Amino acid sequence: MFEWISANIGNIVAVAVLLLILAFAIRSMLRKKNSCSCGCSACPVADTCHKEEKR
């Protein structure tokens, strides 16, 4: 088993890095989904949208 790991360590590291990048991309997309992501300066309902954050 250790021989297989040592023979494939490059692939294992590359896949781990790709999985981390994918996880951060999904996390970012989910966080942006909860907001309009366009700013509130021109929004007509800016006062009611983020009421709890302005406290």
Domains in the chain: boundaries: 2-54
What is the mean pLDDT of each successive set of 10 residues along the chain, which is 55 residues long? 95 98 93 68 72 53
Number of residues in the chain: 55
**Angle 40-46-47 (CA atoms, 0-180°, nearest 5)?**
145
47 to each of 4, 10, 14, 42, 50, how far by Cα in Å? 59, 52, 46, 11, 7
Cα–Cα dist 49/38, whole Å: 13
The pLDDT value given to residue 22 = 98
Chain center to CA of 52: 23
Overall pTM > 0.75: no
